[in-house]
Structure 1
Amino acid sequence: MKDLGQLHHFLGVSVTHSSAGLFLSQRQYILDILEHAGMQDCKLCSTPVDTCAKLSYDGPPVDDPSQYRSLVGALPWLTFTRPDIAFAVQQAVKRILRYLSGTLDHGLRLCPTSPASL
């Protein structure tokens, strides 16, 4: 076994150390998904779910169903560091991608606490 020092990257998760704790992010993974979907320059949105959703026909079916399945399959992995999208993963893939594009630097902050506190 070899000590490689502080953890910086593991299974696609970037780890940043600070005095406040750890910050986990999947920025590059989000960029890869956006590129795979051809949505690098998409219009951004501020929430992962449309708060005024109405059932409607939103354009033609996808050209490549396997690409759609691949994108949908990639999103659950993001819920590890992005619990803000856990519910929305099942709601609207394109909206989530637009939201992720505008929130690339969001992640999960882990702060040290005393074992006696919640």
Structure 2
Amino acid sequence: MAQRKQCLAQEFEIKDIGMLQYFLRIEVAKSKKGIFISQRKYILDLLTEKGMMECKQVKSPIESKHKLQAGIRELMDKERYQILVGRIIYLSHTEPDIAYAISLVSQFMHDPRESYMQAVFGIPHYLKSTP
């Protein structure tokens, strides 16, 4: 390992800051069983920021009989929807179980409805219950 660092130092300006623990909102833990990544802190920060720390936990990231389709026009803050969905998309790196729900809600980024926002809020409710 030291040899690699020396080789890199010859080509690039580097600084050794020790073992990786938290990078790009991803927590990294190393044990005898391997390396584990998590975004638990990011999830908790998102819940806190959106005032959802006291939210009820749910067993699924989206209702099994969801009805997300173009329909009645409702007043909706498009930018708020896009920001929240974008932040949740970032969670799919460590939470593959939300991929289907993310794919559904991200289809409506161009023209969101209030009912879609309720579906988006269901994802953090689910993530709160994940270890």
Shared fold, TM over 0.5? yes
Distance (Å, rounded) in 2 between the aligned partners of 1:78 and 1:53: 21
| 2:99 equivalent among 86, 93, 98 | 86
Q: Give the Cα separation in 1 of the matches to 2:96 and 2:67.
A: 24
1:5-44 alignment to 2 at 5 Å? Answer: 5-44=18-57
Find the partner of 1:45 among 58, 62, 83: 58
Q: Which runs of 5+ in 2 are unaligned?
A: 1-13, 69-73, 105-118
The question of whether the paired residues in 2 share the 8 Å contact of 1:31 and 1:40 is answered with yes
Higher normalized contact order (CA 8 Å, seq sep 6+, divided by chain length): 1
Give the aligned partner of residue 129 of structure 2.
102
Mark the runs of 5 or more structure 1 residues left unpaired by the alignment.
106-118
- Measure the CA separation in 1 of the matches of 2:46 and 2:56: 15
Is the contact made by 1:72 and 1:93 (CA closer than 8 Å) also made in structure 2? yes
Q: CA RMSD in A?
A: 2.3
Is the contact between residue 33 and residue 71 of structure 1 (CA under 8 Å) also seen in structure 2? no
Structure in which a larger fraction of residues adopt helix: 2
| Identity across matched positions, percent | 43
Which consecutive aligned stretches of 4+ in structure 1 deviate over 4 angstroms post-superposition? none
Letter in 2 for 1:88: A
Task: Give TM-score scaled by structure 1 length.
Answer: 0.71
Number of residues of Structure 1 aligned to a counterpart in Structure 2: 101
TM-score using structure 2 length: 0.65
Is the radius of gyration larger for structure 1 or structure 2? 2
